[in-house]
A and B are shown apart, each in its own frame.
Chain A
Amino acid sequence: MAEIIQEEKAGGKKKAKKHAPHIDMTPMVDLMCLLITFFMLTTAFSKPKIMEINLPEKIKDKNVEPPKISASRTHNLILGPNNKIYWYTGTVKPEDYNNLPPVTELDFSAGPNGVRQIMLDRNKALFKKIADFKNQVLTGKIVMPADSVQKAISRLKTDDDTGPIVLIKAYKKATYGNFVDILDEMSICGIARYTFVEIAWYEEKMVETAAGIAPTPTPARK
């Protein structure tokens, strides 16, 4: 019995082989094209990246004095309108509002007028320190395991007492894009100490003079 059935099956196969089946694949290809297009358009290929930022804590206790930093190392970068940055060094006291220091106009490019050149220039001492340290490790003057080299370098960065301290401030016409860009520049230039602080009214005035905007009436001057 079984043999007979096998024979029958074999016979059936032969019949099917006689004319090669031509399946029309066009609709299938159409559908696949459609699906591929759909998936390609809806897929989010590049995962968004993040940039971390720490803000200074608000000092609620009036008796706690803010930490003292040296004026010569302090760089103020004020984000102005039209993607410009206004830069001055040192500090300004509210009393000298009649005699405000000039600000330099910078942009976000890497060119000679860009903030990157200035910051890299100011940070040279730190880079030199790190490069020297790396050299000493490479030439075998300092012997330490590979994983503590990175730690030592980051310690160099945090202990740095020559590099710039950058205070980032934003004039009210700045955009969020400017904010992200300047933080990005800070990380590119390897600035160890930077923070975002509130702009003072006299700084607003400085920007307004430099950019030629009609000054906004300042509230009670303390």
Chain B
Amino acid sequence: MPKIKLPTKSPHIDMTPMVDLFSVVLTFLMLTTTMRQPEPAPVDTPSSSSEKSTPEFNTMTLLLSKDNKVYLNFDNYNVLGQDTSVAFRPKILVEMGKRYNIEFTAAEQAEFKKIPSAMGVPILKMKEFLDTKDLKARTALQTGIPIDSTDNQLADWIFCTRTVNPNVQAQIKGDAKTGFEVVKRVLDIMADKNVFKFNLITTLEGKVNLAEIQK
């Protein structure tokens, strides 16, 4: 019996449909993507049944990390990277500098404007933070905003933010494991500055049928 000769030619798979599909997915992802901002500390937000979305601008976000540090972020750009009409961030920095007799150069202001994430740098270290380009050195400087009653920089930040942008809405983004004492302290500071309305940032845990429950 003669052996059946197998074709030695390598099979040619037509990859065109696959490439087509990939292109579609890729285009979709590229168009819909909003980049996840790197945060100075990982934060696992608690879940809730609320379905309201976060506002995109006029926000001031307080980040409360698991190790009880406070970071602050203000929007200047919305998520798509467009300027929301006015650049608030440099103005807030200048305002803050005035209170602590620190003068920030134009370059430093521009740098402050560019930072995409929350910051937890004590104001006296802010110049150093903005001047350095080294990421590791920057991370080392993020020790959290002081909230002690003797050195209450958070209150000053809130005051300056509200002076520059009166429409700002306070948002709290906390880790579920953050101790309540810090939260309480932050709420007290806000109340002292006459901020009584907050948005707590949460993740959606699944729809709750209110009509069913509230029978």
Contacts and interface: CB of A to CB of B under 8 A. Distances in A.
Contact of B18 (A22, A29, A177): A29
Interface in B37-96: 45-46, 48-55, 64
Interface in A105-119: 116
Interface residues of A, number: 53
A49 B35 contact: no
B177 interface: yes
B179 A58 contact: no
A43 interface: yes
Contacts of B54: 47-50
A175 interface: yes
B22 A180 contact: no
Interface string A18-54: 0000100110110011011001101110111111111
B101 interface: no
Interface in A160-185: 170-181, 183-184
A131 to B, nearest CB: 8
B208 interface: yes
Contact of A46 (B176, B191, B198, B204): B204
B75 to A, nearest CB: 13
B45 A53 contact: no
Contacts of A42: 33, 35-36
Interface string A99-138: 0000000000000000010001001000100110000000
A157 to B, nearest CB: 11
A77 interface: no
B107 to A, nearest CB: 29
Contacts of B50: 49-51, 184, 187
B46 to A, nearest CB: 4
B152 interface: no
B171 A174 contact: no
Contacts of A40: 29
B36 A47 contact: no
Contact of B26 (A35, A176, A177): A35
Contact of A58 (B23, B191, B215): B191
A43 B32 contact: yes
Contact of B200 (A47, A183, A189): A183
A177 B209 CA distance: 22
Interface string B13-38: 00110110011011001101111100
Contacts of B190: 55
A52 B210 contact: no
A200 interface: no
A96 interface: no
Nearest to B35: A42
A55 B187 contact: yes
Contacts of B109: none
B184 interface: yes
Given A33-B22, A47-B54, A50-B201, A188 B49 contact: yes
B36 A44 contact: yes
Contacts of A22: 12
B180 A50 contact: no
A36 B176 contact: no
A50 B199 contact: yes
A65 interface: no
Given A29-B18, A53-B197, 9 more contacts: A35-B26, A46-B203, A47-B53, A49-B48, A58-B192, A116-B213, A131-B215, A176-B180, A183-B48
Which 8 residue pairs are nearest across A and B when measured between Cβ atoms? A177-B176, A39-B29, A50-B199, A176-B178, A180-B46, A176-B174, A184-B48, A174-B180
12 contacts: A25-B19, A32-B23, A42-B33, A54-B197, A175-B176, A175-B178, A175-B180, A180-B174, A180-B202, A184-B48, A188-B208, A189-B213
